[in-house]
Every structure is written in C-alpha cells, then in structure tokens.
Amino acid sequence: MSRLLLLTLVSALLMAQQQQTPPAQTQPAEAPLNRFIIGTTRVVAPVIVFDRDGRTVGGIRPDEFHLYDMGKEQNIQVDETFVPISLVVAIQCTSEVEKLLPQVSKIGNLIKPLVLGDLGEAAVMTFDSRVKVLQDFTADPDKITKAVRNINTYSGGSMAHLNDAVDESIRMLRARTGNRRRILLLISETRDQGSAAGTRETLIEMQLQSVRVYQVTMSRLLGKLTAAPDVQYDTRPPAMVPMPSNTVATPTTVMQTYGTEGNSATFIPLLMEIYRDAKAIFKSSPVQLYTKGTGGEEFPFYGGHGLEQAIQRIGEDLHSEYTLSYSPTTKEEGGFHDIKVVVSGHPEVPIKNGIKVRPGYWAATHQ
C-alpha cells in the first residue's frame, strides 16, 4: 500500500508542475514588438565663421547664431571656450609615397603648438596593408615628434588600407573620455585599396562619434616625380599635373587638381547616396566623403612648405571655431538631416558663404 501511495504522490506533483508552467506556444502571437530609434540625442556642430576676405571672425555673440535642422530652427547652446583636442595622425607608408616620407617626418614638432595647444593629446599611426600604432595618446610633444620622425616604408607593398586605418582611428578616439574634440588627420592618398572596412559604415560611425577628418593629400604622381625619372613623355591630362610649390591652394585649384565638388550644396546629394548605399558613391574618393561629411577639409601637398602650411591652417581652424550643440526637435524623423547655420546682425559676416559647418547627419528610425 505504501508503494502505491508513493506513486500516487509523484503523479500528483508532476501534474501540478505542468499546470504551473505554461507552454511556450500559449504566449500571444500578437505581442507588440519593441520600438527603438537609432540616431543621436545631442548633435554637435563645430562652426567656423569667415569675413568677406576669408579671415576667421571672433567675438560673435551666442544670440547671433541660428541653426536649422531640416529647416526647423533649434534651441542651441554655443560654447566659445576652447575644448581640448584628441587627435590621431594617420600616415600612409606604402612604397608609392616612399619619396615623400622624409618631408612628412619633419612635421612632428608642429603638431603640439599649432594644432593641439596646451591641453591636447595625439596618437600616431602608420598604414599600408597593415595598420600600426606607433604612439598611443600622449600630451608629450617629444614623444609625438619622435613617433612621426620614425615613420618608414613597411614591407606591405603598395596596398593602402585607408578605410581600415580610419576605422582604427575612430575606435581609438571613441575610447577618449570627457569633453574632447575628436579629430583625425590623414596624411595619405585619397583612395583605398583592399580594406576590410567599408566606406559607408565608417562614415556613419564617424557621425555617431563626432569625429572630424582633415586630410593632407600625398600625391602618387609627386612621389614618382621626386624619384629618378623612368619615362620620357608626359601623357597626363593637364588637371593631373602637380602645381608648383609656390602656387596658392584655393578651392578652385584643388577642385581642378583632384576633381572634387566645389561646395557643400553639390555634395549633399552625394552624401545622401552613400547613406542609401547607392553605387554612385564610388565616383568620389573615400577621403572626400570623410572630410566633407564631417565638416573637415582636404589640403594638397605639393612639396616645399605645403605640408607645414596645411598643418598651420588646420590649427587655425580648430582654434577659431565655435561649438554649437542641440537636442534636435526633429529626432523622430529618420533619414538625412541637413544642417544650416546663419549669423545675423554681425557686420563682418557676409550673408552667404561665410559659414563652415558639417552638412548634416544621419538619423535612422526602425520599428
């Protein structure tokens, strides 16, 4: 009898457990999916203001700035204080630009005084088919100078993994804590060869991490010209012939030399295409997308003092800017958000073409 009673108790316990644990298929199929938004809660828009002669303008009051996101004016905060800089210097070291590297190695001592200032820090990397960090972030000018001086050509051949170098730079900058400006200085050619990282994904990550890109172009043609000549006839089209070292680099001369679009208005449709992953983006170099898409700039490197002048210009930009930030009232609207900044009531600022700001950002909404 005790054995029968034990079996009865076990059966009762099993039945009770099955009644307490509802099967998975009893969960309602119509349960609502979680809604999430991928985008940004606060947008940072560094702005540089120029007068009619192209000189930077200081002393602009916060109430004179007006920022429009998708045509709607935003409630902005204007920071006029100098925000410390975290800078990555990424230098191409392929055999194609080997003859230019001795000139690049001389600019290390300019980075701290001209670009970083007292509170800034910099890291130095080189890339060919590999990416190598020569110096992690440091504020020590001697370490920065030494790292740049020690660049050389690797055994990686002529493949320049530019996108991989940019992707690694973003990862390094993302790890910097505190209120810092994240800047990438590329000293390289404009094209990518064989990177695992894609241009579209890399640009989107730049936007999310507020990384701004400046680039000094190392011309493959100039590298060949500085080497021993091995051709007798110049069959290049006129726009591909490097200008003399004393030629002033203007937007027109740069556009003629590199075939880039002349202003942000013509660039915005191209930027929208890359977010849609359209094939037309490959008409332009990754560098053009990175610089214009983040509010940076490209500078040509023709030899002589061109590299030093480019470093000086970048420093002037970074030390003359105003930092505008806002929480967009348009954050629920997915897609590309164009940004427009206007300065009103200031006598030195022209009504048009006096503002340099990133063209916009991407905000994607998913259900």
Q: Among 25-29, 181-185, 242-246, 272-276, which range has the highest average pLDDT?
A: 181-185
143-171 pLDDT, tens digit each: 999 999 989 876 556 789 999 999 999 99
Q: What is the pLDDT of residue 135?
A: 96
pLDDT computed for residue 350 by the predictor? 81
Question: What secondary structure, in 3-state letters, does 283-333 show?
Answer: HCCHHHHHHHHHCCEEEEECCCCHHHHHHHHHHHHHCCCEEEEECCCCCCC
- Contact between 111 and 148 under an 8 Å Cβ cutoff? The reply is yes
What mean pLDDT do residues 215-241 have? 51
Cα dihedral 187, 192, 197, 203 in deg (nearest 10): 60
Select from 103, 175, 113 the least CA-distant residue to 139.
Answer: 113
Q: How high is the pLDDT of residue 69?
A: 93
208 has a pLDDT exceeding 50:
yes
Burial class (CB in 10 A: 0-12, 13-18, 19+), 39: buried
Model pLDDT, residue 133: 96
* Pick from 68, 73, 60: nearest CA to 347: 60
- Measured distance CA(329)–CA(71) in Å, rounded: 11
Q: What is the DSSP letter of 351?
A: S
Q: What is the pLDDT of residue 98?
A: 87
Rounded Cα distance, 203 and 212, in Å: 10
Per-chain mean pLDDT for the chain: 76
Q: Is the pLDDT of residue 226 over 50?
A: no
Across the range 244-264, mean pLDDT stands at 40
How do the residues of the chain divide into helix, strand and coil, expressed in percent and rounded to 5? Answer: 35, 25, 40
Q: Which residue has the higher pLDDT, 236 or 108?
A: 108
pLDDT score at 162: 95
Q: In this predicted model, what pLDDT tens digit does every residue of 294-325 receive, in sequence order? A: 888 898 876 667 889 899 999 988 988 899 99
Q: Which residue has the tokens 């609502």?
A: 32
The pLDDT value given to residue 360: 84
pLDDT in tens, 19-46: 444 444 444 443 333 333 345 578 888 8
Burial code (b: 16+ CB inside 10 Å, e: under 16) for 337-361 equals bbbbbebeebebbeeeebbbbbbbb
- Predicted confidence band at 139 (pLDDT cuts at 50, 70, 90)? very high
pLDDT tens, position by position, 76-103: 999 877 789 999 999 999 988 888 888 8
Closest alpha carbon to 294 in 204, 174, 217: 204
Render pLDDT for 277-287 as a digit per residue (tens, 0 to 9): 554 444 457 88
Confidence (pLDDT) at 21: 46
Is 50 exceeded by the pLDDT of residue 356? Answer: yes
Question: Do residues 144 and 122 make contact, with C-beta atoms less than 8 angstroms apart?
Answer: yes
